[in-house]
Chain A
C-alpha cells in the first residue's frame, strides 16, 4: 500500500478526507467539548450509523464485488455485538457484585462472587449457572478475540460447506437467510446461555470508567467507529483493487469462465465471505456498546435484508455507495420513525409518517431497483464523467 495506491484510487483519499472532517466537526460540536450543539444521543446515533456503514461496505464487497448475495451478514454483526456484550456485562456486574459483597463482615470467596454474578446476569432466565460459552467473559482480550474469531469461523465453516457444494445465486441467499434465522431462533431460547429474548443490556456503561460521562464515552466510541470505518474502507479498497479484486469481480460476472481460467473460485469466495464476516463482527462490537442493548431480534432475517437494501440504494460495486446508502437510509429511517417528519394533512386523511414511512421505503426499493440500478452512488458518475 504505497502512495501510488491512493494516486490510482483518488476516491479513497476523498472519502478519508470527508470522514476525518466530519469526525472532527462532530467532536468539536459535541457535549464532550462543552459546545453541545450536537446532543449525546445524536452523537450515539451518528456513531452507530458509522458502524452500519462499515458493515454495509463489507456487504458491498461480498455482494457488489463478489456477487454473493448473503442474507446473513447481519448475523455476524450481531455475533460481534454479543461477544463484546458478554465482557461488558460480566465485568460491570462483577464490579457491582464485588462492591456490594465487600460490605459483608467476611471478605467473599471467589465462588461466592461468581455465584452472585451468575445470579445477577441469569436471574431473568431462571438460572444462576454460567454456561460454558461465558468461559472467557472475564477477559477483555479473549472476548475481543471472539469478536473476530467466532464470526470468522462460522463464516468459514458455512462458506466452505456452501461453496464446496457449488450452492450459488438465490439458493445461497436462501441458505444464508436460513442460517441467520436459525441463529436468531436459537438465541431466543432461554437456555441458549445468552439470556434468551432479554438479550444483553447495560452495554453503554464501560466497566472501570463509570466516572466518565456518557458524553465523553459516546464521542470516544464515535471516533473509534470513524477510525474503524476509515480503516475498513482502505482495507477493502485495497482488496478489490489489485489482481485479487479483478478475479473477484470476474467471479461475479462469470464464475464458470474464471474457473476455466484456472482460478480456484471457491477459495476466493470463501476468503471474501470470511473477511467480510469478520469486519461485520468488528462493526457489531463497536455498534452495540453505543446502542446499549442487544437481543436476538436484532439478527432476525429482516435485518440482513435491510443491509442488502442499503447497499442497493447506495449503489453496488462502489464502496462509497454502500456508505451513502447505509447512512442515508438509516438516518432517514430514524428521522421518519422518530416523528421528526411533519405529518401531511390531506384534508380527508392525515398521513402520519410513523405509519407510512415503511410503505414509502418499500416502494422506493422498487423504484431504485427498477429505475436506478446503480443507486445513489450512480449520480457520481455524472459528476466525474467529462462532458464529451
Chain B
C-alpha cells in the first residue's frame, strides 16, 4: 500500500494539479461506503484519490477523519466535520469551511475508522505535510519523522526531497532520508550506500542511528549458532568476570544458581530443630566454615539440595561460549556501520579534544581575570590582599545594582564596567591609605589585616543583599554559543570573557611598560628610596597602583558575575586559586600570571577530562600538582632575575 501511496504522491507532484473542477465532497461522494465504514484495504482507494486530487482542504479533512470527527448527513449523504459542544453539534462544510449548527442530530452517522485505518490516514497525512506549501508545516513533519523513525516514512520522505524548494530543509530531508535508508532500505546495497553516506556526519542522531544498526545483545550457548552475526566472542576472565559469566548462565537457565552465604544461612535457619541443625549446635555456627559443614551434612542426608560449588561453576562456564551478537543479521551491513562509526568516532574524539582546549582556554581566562588585579597588588607591590576576592564581589554586586535601575542589559553592562572600576578603585585607595600603608614592612600582618577586611566585607554584603545568589543577566547578544560542528561549541559569554582577559593583558602591559605611571610603579617597587630621591612620590604611586589592581578586580567581578552567580562568598571561591595563579606564574610579572592561569586552566580541564565525574578530585590533584611544582620552581614559571628578584 505504501508503495502505491508513494507512487500516487509522485504522480501528484509531477503532474500539476489536474483538479480544479473537482471538490473534496465529490471525491468523498464517489467513495461513500469507504469513507463511512473504512476498512484497512478499502481506505487506500480514498486516500489515493485524495492524494491525487492535490486539494488543500484534504489535509484538514484527513486530520478530522483520523480524529473521528467526520459525519454523514442521512438526508443528502453529504459529509461534514462535526464538533460536539454540550448538546449543540456544529457542522463544518469540508470545502468552504462554513460552520452551522446541525438541525437534526439523529440524522448524522459517524465514520469510525479503526486503529489500522487511522494509522494509514496518519501516513497519508505525513505525505501531505511533507509537501505542504507552508514551510513550518513541512519542518514540523520532518521533525516528527526524526523523532520516531519508521520504515514507512522512507518512501514519502524520499519522494518529497526532489520538489523541496527550501535548500536548508532539503538538506535536512536528504540527511534524514539517509538515516532512514541506513535503517530501513529494502536492499542490502541501498542500506550500505546509505550507511557509507553517513560516515562524515558528527551529529548525535547519526551516531544513534549507527548504534541502532549495531545494537547487540550478550548471548550464551554451548556452540555459537552458524547463522548468528557475531560481534565478539567473550573470553571469561578478560572480557567478562567469572561472576558475570555465571550470572548469565543462571539467567539463561543453563546452570543452577550458586549457593550463596545468604542461601546457606536461610537454609540452616529453616532446618533448626531444638537448637540443633542436623547434629550441629546452633551456637557454633558463627563462622562460614562451620556453616558449610552443617549444610553439607544436611545435603548428604538428603534434606537440602547439594551445594553448587566452585568446581561446578568452572565446569559450567567452560562448557559454554559467551558472545555478543548483533541484532542485525546481515554481516555486511554491520561491518559497514562499524566502519562508518569508527570513522565518525575518530573525528568526534578530535573535535572533543578541540572543544576541551576551548573550555580550558575560557577557564584560563577566568582565572586570569580573577588574578590579574592580584598580579599587580601582590605580584608587583608584594602586598598580600586577602580582600581581593571581596573586590571581585563588590564589582559583581555593582553590576547587579546597576541592573536594578537600568533595565536595558546592554546599557547596564556598559555602565556597570566603569562604575565597578571606580567603586573598587576607591575602596582600594581607601584601604591602602588607612591600613596597608602602615604595614608595608610587615607582609604577614597585611595578610591578617586584609583578611579582617575580607570577612567584614563579606558579612556586610550578606547583610545588605541577603544570602541567596543574585542574577547578573547578560545582554541578549551574548546568549547562545558559537557552534563549529556538533561537538565543538563555545558560548559567546566565554568568548567575551576571553576577549576581556586579552584586553586587560594588553592594557596592563601598556600601563606598566609604556606610561610614565608604569615607569614610576616599577621604580618604586624595585627601590622606593632611590625612586623617591629621583623625585617620585612613592606614597602616591603605591596608592595609585593598589587602586588600579583593585579596580581591575571590580571589572573582573562584573565579568565573572555574568558567567557565574553573584553571592557574598564568590570572592572567597577565587582568592586561593588567584594567589596560586600568581605564585605559579611567577611574582612580579604579568606574563607570569598569564602563564600561571593557562597552566592551571588547562591542567584542571585535563584532569577533569580524565575523570569527568569528579570535579572535586580534579581540583584536589591540581592543587597537589601546584604544591609539587612550587617545590621545583619556587619562583614560578617566569622567574625574575637580578636585583628585581630580591625579596
- Chain B binding surface, main DSSP class: helix
In the complex, which residues 224-283 of chain B have their Cβ closer than 8 Å to any Cβ of chain A?
Answer: 261, 265, 268-269, 272, 282-283
- At the interface, yes or no: A188 with Cβ under 8 Å from chain B? yes
Q: A312's closest neighbor in chain B, by CB?
A: B448
Closest to B456 in A: A362
Stretch touching chain B among A17-25, A203-211, A224-232, A353-361: A353-361
Instruction: Please classify the interface of chain A as helix (H, G, I), strand (E, B), loop, or mixed, using the class held by over half of its residues.
Output: helix
> Is there an interface contact between A370 and B438, defined as CB atoms closer than 8 Å?
yes
Q: Tell whether, in the assembled complex, residue A167 and residue B630 are in contact, meaning their CB atoms are under 8 Å apart.
A: yes
Q: Given contacts A109-B288, A178-B576, are A358 and B459 in contact (CB under 8 A)? A: yes
Interface residues in B593-647 by Cβ distance below 8 A to A read 614, 616-617, 619-620, 623-624, 626-628, 630-632, 634, 647
The answer to whether A387 has its CB under 8 Å from any CB of chain B is: no
Query: How many of chain A's residues have a CB under 8 angstroms from any CB in B?
Result: 53
**A164 CA to B634 CA in the complex, in Å?**
10
Quick one: CB contact mask for B430-470 with A, threshold 8 Å, 1 for yes?
A: 00000100110011110111011111111110110000000
Knowing A105-B269, A105-B272, A175-B630, the reply to whether A365 touches B447 (Cβ < 8 A) is no
Give complex CA distance A334, B454 in Å: 20
Flag if B634 contacts A182 (CB, 8 Å).
Answer: no
Which interface residue of A165, A167, A170, A363 has the most chain B CB atoms within 10 A?
A: A170
Residues of A164-202 whose CB lies within 8 A of B: 164-167, 169-171, 173-175, 177-179, 181-182, 185-186, 188-189, 191
B376: Cβ under 8 A from any A Cβ: no
Considering only CB atoms, which chain A residue lies closest to B285 in the complex? A106
Contact yes or no, B631 A107, CB < 8 A: no
Asked if B456 contacts A370 (CB within 8 A), the reply is no
CB nearest neighbor in A for B450: A366
Whether a CB of chain A sits under 8 angstroms from the CB of B560 is: no
B576 to A, closest residue via Cβ? A181
Task: Report chain B residues within 8 Å CB of A177.
Answer: 576, 579
A153 to chain B, nearest CB (A): 16
Q: A105-B269, A182-B623 are in contact. Are A308 and B631 (CB under 8 A)?
A: no
Query: Would A365 and B459 count as touching, CB distance under 8 A?
Result: no
* A11 at interface, CB cutoff 8 A: no
Asked whether B627 lies within 8 Å of A182 as measured between CB atoms, the reply is: yes
Which bucket holds chain B's interface residue count? 35 or more
Q: In the complex, which residue of chain A has the Cβ closest to the Cβ of B623? A: A182
CB neighbours (8 Å) of A358 from chain B are 455-456, 458-459
Task: Return chain A residues, CB-CB under 8 Å to B442.
Answer: 373
Decide: A185 and B623 in contact? CB cutoff 8 A.
yes
Residues 344-388 of chain A, each 1 if its beta carbon lies under 8 Å from chain B, else 0? 000000000001111111111110011001000000000000000
A182, B448: Cβ atoms closer than 8 Å: no
Cross-chain contact B463 with A106 (CB below 8 angstroms): no
Interface status of A111 (Cβ within 8 A of chain B): yes
Is the beta-carbon distance between A166 and B576 smaller than 8 angstroms? no
Nearest CB of chain B from residue A193's CB, rounded to whole Å: 13
A110 to B285 alpha-carbon distance, docked (Å): 11
Residue numbers in A under 8 Å from B459 (CB-CB)? 355-359, 362
User: Is B384 engaged at the interface, CB distance under 8 Å to the other chain?
Assistant: yes
Interface pair B384/A170, CB less than 8 Å apart: yes
The reply to whether A108 and B620 form a contact with Cβ atoms under 8 Å apart is no
**Does chain A have a CB within 8 A of B154?**
no
In the complex, the answer to whether B452 meets A107 with C-beta atoms within 8 Å is no
A305 contacts chain B at the CB level, 8 A cutoff: yes
**A181 CA / B621 CA spacing, docked (Å):** 11
Contact B456 A359 (CB under 8 A): yes
Interface residues of A in 288-313 (CB under 8 A from B): 301-302, 305, 308-309, 312
Residues 78-135 of A at the B interface (beta carbon under 8 Å): 105-112
Contact of A362 among B447, B452, B583 (CB under 8 A): B452
Residue of B nearest to A371 (CB): B438
B287 sits at the interface (CB 8 A): yes
Known A170-B384, A189-B617: A309·B444 in contact at CB below 8 Å: no
Given contacts A170-B447, A312-B448, A363-B452, contact A178 B626 (CB under 8 A): yes
The CA of A269 and the CA of B386, in the complex, are separated in Å by: 26
User: A-facing mask of B382-403, CB < 8 A → 1, else 0?
Assistant: 0010100000000000000000
B583, A174: Cβ atoms closer than 8 Å: yes
Contact of B620 among A185, A302, A366 (CB under 8 A): A185
Query: Chain B interface (Cβ within 8 Å of chain A)?
Result: 261, 265, 268-269, 272, 282-283, 285-288, 291, 384, 386, 435, 438-439, 442-445, 447-449, 451-460, 462-463, 572, 576, 579-580, 583, 614, 616-617, 619-620, 623-624, 626-628, 630-632, 634, 647
| Given A161-B627, A178-B580, 14 additional A-B pairs, CB 8 A | A107-B286, A110-B286, A112-B261, A165-B632, A166-B634, A174-B576, A175-B627, A177-B576, A186-B616, A189-B614, A302-B572, A356-B459, A361-B456, A362-B453
28 pairs from A and B in contact (CB 8 Å cutoff): A105-B269, A106-B265, A106-B285, A106-B291, A107-B282, A107-B285, A107-B286, A110-B287, A111-B261, A164-B631, A174-B576, A175-B630, A177-B576, A181-B576, A182-B623, A182-B627, A185-B619, A186-B617, A301-B576, A309-B452, A355-B463, A356-B459, A362-B454, A365-B451, A365-B452, A366-B435, A366-B456, A373-B442
